[in-house]
């Protein structure tokens, strides 16, 4: 039985539908709630006064109300909005800024429920597995809760434990989100540019990964492997014997937060030194290993004695393949050099066919983009503003950037904020430039070019070897009459639409003329029955003709052409 079949008549799903609709109504989205399948729940709902903090919700912007809806609906919708905020090529800047300011109010899970998860997954009670287990959570998030524990032998660890039942709630909410996305695409053309169904599918892929802590454990292993022997970074130990899909056990990090200047100095760092060391480690993740921490906010970075930096929480990681890394390098280097043609070429490489609809306008926007920063030196450029400017162009020209690159761009904005908190003169653009140039020099190194040439030559040799057979196959298909050529005409959609419109009007006009002529003949022939002194069939024909004529006039008037 499919998940959809399981959920279709589930009481909890029906209750969740009612909750979603009530919140949509509360924040003024009656237009969405009025369409199926949601409208069948409306009679069950009480009248809701649309107030927020004592203020009518209509006084808030639509984007603010979207954020409020997601906050009130909880875990799944908050996560969906946070993941959707990684798509600046699809969503407008005003909505993105709202989605970045969530108030995720999550109550603690009762300790007996946490104990049940441990017993179900690890087969024993916490007191049988650990020397000590702290029932009071260290932290609580929307999907999981974190508890400290001590292994038998004295090693301090933390356990990340999934909230009981959260997987069922998320499955139900994904079902509802798909219904909402389909509704928006079908009835609200103004939202089609946001690609709601694509956003839901992207969210579904992402949240399913977050619901398996075994994936986070693998991320931690991979990260530790790529930095093995690196003196500047510390990676927590993993304890797989205490891990499952719902439990992650790793070493407790007794470090200092990067927001504590006095503690940082005791670890041997000044603020500017730590900012530089941290960003260099982050760029090493991206440009050397192609596997990076995608959520580097201050709460996920600690400083340890002996000048070591430690990242925690490996649930959200990003990977970047060589080809995308090269494209990103070209993009950032063009920004650094203020190269209009280079930036245009870099942006167009992200499009399917290397073009956009308004290519000349894109060029002027790039010139304007650079003129904004033309009076500033490289060390004065603010990375946040630069990336926001790039995101605006992605959205305006519908340039589809690979998801992991967008994740990286957002992470760079976060890491710049961290750097500025440590060093007011910190600048991400100035620091990224050497890494980009090093990557490009490697890309065009004689050794790399030689390997690429050999690979290309091997491909051409294989193609030449297959050419006689391919030609023979084509000739055989021609002889058998099986050769099929497909042709696609682009830019004819408007023409076809106009032709449909003209043919429809012509058909109505012919039908209208036939009805008028037929009705007139019936009236002249005085064919019974009669309405008054007028033949009834002729009368009905004239009425239908009048309605059709009125419809035709309205259609012509609406399009403004006579």
User: Which of 187-196, 474-483, 524-533 bottoms out in mean pLDDT, i.e. has the lowest?
Assistant: 187-196
Mean pLDDT of 242-256: 94
Q: What is the pLDDT of residue 219?
A: 94
Please give the structure tokens belonging to residue 160.
């990340």
Instruction: Give the list of residues 6+ apart from residue 436 with CB closer than 8 angstroms, or none.
Output: 287, 329, 332, 333, 336
What mean pLDDT comes out for the span 76-101?
75
- The three-state secondary structure class of 407 is helix
User: 558 pLDDT band (50/70/90 cuts)?
Assistant: low
- For residue 47, what are the CA distances in angstroms to 42, 43, 66? 10, 10, 20
pLDDT at 187: 77
Rounded CA separation 466/479 (Å): 20
Q: Which of 231-235, 333-337, 406-410, 455-459 has the highest mean pLDDT?
A: 231-235
pLDDT per residue over 486-509, tens digit each?
666 655 666 666 777 777 778 778
- Three-state DSSP state, 310: strand
Above 50 in pLDDT, residue 419? yes
Lowest-confidence segment of 222-236, 479-493, 516-530 by average pLDDT: 479-493
Q: Are 435 and 325 in contact (CB under 8 A)?
A: no
Q: Which of 86-95, 126-135, 257-266, 331-340 is predicted with the least confidence, judged by mean pLDDT?
A: 86-95
Q: CB 436: neighbour CB atoms within 10 A?
A: 22
Is the model more confident about 488 or about 485? 485
Helix (H, G, I), strand (E, B) or coil at 528: coil
Residue 3: pLDDT above 70? no
| Joined tokens for residue 70 | 């997601």
Secondary structure of residue 76 in the 3-state scheme: helix
Residue 200 has pLDDT above 50, yes or no: yes
Q: What is the mean pLDDT of the chain?
A: 79
Report residue 20 as tokens. Answer: 């979603």
Q: Which sequence spans correspond to the domains of the chain? A: 3-102+169-208, 325-446, 494-559
Report which of residues 265 and 484 the model is more confident about: 265
- C-alpha distances in Å from residue 504, one per residue of 234, 510, 533, 556: 71, 10, 35, 12
How does DSSP assign 127-165, residue by residue? HHHEEEE-SS-SEE-SSEEEEEEEETTS-EEEEEEEPTT
Q: Which of 167-171, 244-248, 361-365, 520-524 has the lowest mean pLDDT?
A: 520-524
Average pLDDT over every residue of 188-204: 75
210, 143 Cβ separation under 8 angstroms:
yes
Name which residue leads in pLDDT, 336 or 346.
346
Residues counted in the chain? 562
pLDDT in tens, 449-478: 676 677 677 777 777 878 888 788 888 878
Q: How many CA atoms lie within 13 A of 223 on its CB side?
A: 29
Q: Which of 51-60, 337-346, 402-411, 543-552 has the lowest mean pLDDT?
A: 51-60
When pLDDT is cut at 50, 70 and 90, the band that residue 555 belongs to is confident
* Interval 152-157 mean pLDDT: 94
Q: Which residues, in sequence order, are CB contacts of 169 under 8 Å at separation 6+?
A: 16, 74, 75, 76
Is pLDDT larger for residue 263 or for residue 410? 263
* The pLDDT value given to residue 348: 85
Q: How far apart are CA 528 and CA 534, in angstroms?
A: 9
Mean pLDDT of 50-65: 70
Is residue 278 within 8 Å of residue 419, measured between CB atoms? yes
Give the tens place of pLDDT for each residue, 369-413. 777 765 555 455 566 677 777 777 877 777 777 777 777 877 877
pTM value is: 0.64
Produce one character per residue of 313-352: b if its CB has 16 or more CB atoms within 10 Å, e if not: bbbbbbebeeebbbbbbbbbbbbbebbeebbbebbbebee
């Amino acid at each position: 039985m499919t998940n959809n079949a399981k959920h279709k008549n589930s009481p909890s799903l029906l209750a969740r539908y009612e909750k979603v609709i009530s919140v949509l109504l509360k924040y003024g989205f009656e237009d969405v709630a009025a369409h199926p399948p949601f409208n069948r729940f409306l009679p069950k709902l009480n009248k809701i006064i649309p107030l927020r903090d004592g203020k009518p919700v209509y006084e808030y912007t639509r984007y603010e109300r979207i954020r409020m809806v997601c906050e009130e609906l909880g875990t799944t919708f908050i996560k969906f909005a946070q993941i959707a905020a990684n798509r600046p090529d699809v969503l407008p800047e005003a909505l993105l800024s709202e989605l970045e300011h969530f108030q995720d109010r999550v109550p603690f899970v009762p300790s007996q429920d946490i104990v049940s998860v441990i017993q179900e997954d690890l087969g024993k009670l916490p007191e049988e597995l650990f020397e000590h287990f702290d029932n009071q959570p260290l932290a609580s998030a929307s999907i999981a809760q974190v508890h400290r524990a001590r292994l038998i032998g004295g090693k301090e660890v933390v356990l990340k434990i999934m909230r009981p039942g959260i997987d069922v709630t998320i499955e139900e909410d994904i079902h509802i989100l798909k219904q909402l996305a389909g509704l928006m695409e079908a009835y609200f053309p103004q939202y089609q540019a946001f690609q709601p169904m694509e956003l839901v599918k992207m969210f579904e892929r992402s949240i399913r990964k977050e619901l398996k802590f075994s994936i986070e454990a693998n991320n931690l292993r991979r990260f530790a492997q790529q930095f093995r022997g690196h003196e500047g970074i510390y990676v927590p130990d993993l304890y797989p014997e205490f891990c499952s899909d719902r439990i992650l056990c790793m070493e407790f990090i007794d470090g200092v937060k990067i927001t504590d200047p006095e503690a940082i100095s005791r670890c041997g760092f000044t603020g500017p030194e730590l900012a530089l060391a941290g960003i260099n480690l982050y760029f090493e993740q991206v440009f050397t290993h192609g596997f990076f921490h995608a959520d580097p906010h201050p709460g996920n970075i600690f400083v340890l004695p002996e000048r070591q930096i430690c990242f925690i929480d490996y649930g959200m990681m990003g990977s970047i393949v060589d080809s995308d890394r090269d494209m990103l390098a070209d993009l950032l280097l063009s920004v650094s050099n203020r190269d209009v043609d280079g930036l245009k070429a870099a942006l167009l490489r992200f499009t399917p066919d290397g073009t956009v609809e308004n290519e000349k306008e894109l060029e002027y926007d790039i010139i304007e983009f650079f003129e904004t920063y033309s009076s500033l030196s490289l060390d004065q450029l603010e990375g946040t503003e630069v990336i926001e400017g790039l995101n605006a162009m992605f959205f305006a020209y519908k340039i589809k950037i690979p998801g992991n690159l967008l994740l990286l761009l957002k992470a760079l904005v976060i890491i710049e904020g961290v750097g500025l908190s440590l060093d007011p003169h910190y600048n991400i653009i100035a620091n990224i430039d050497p890494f980009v140039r090093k990557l490009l020099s490697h890309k065009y190194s004689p050794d790399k070019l030689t390997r690429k040439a050999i690979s290309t030559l091997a491909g051409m040799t294989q193609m030449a070897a297959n050419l006689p057979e391919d030609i023979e196959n084509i000739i055989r298909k021609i002889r058998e009459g099986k050769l099929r050529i497909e042709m696609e005409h682009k830019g004819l959609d408007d023409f076809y639409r106009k032709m449909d419109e003209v043919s429809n009007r012509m058909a109505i006009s012919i039908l209208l003329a036939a009805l008028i002529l037929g009705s007139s003949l019936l009236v002249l022939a005085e064919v019974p029955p009669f309405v008054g002194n007028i033949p009834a069939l002729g009368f009905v024909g004239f009425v239908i003709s009048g309605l059709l004529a009125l419809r035709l006039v309205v259609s012509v008037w609406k399009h403004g052409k006579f």
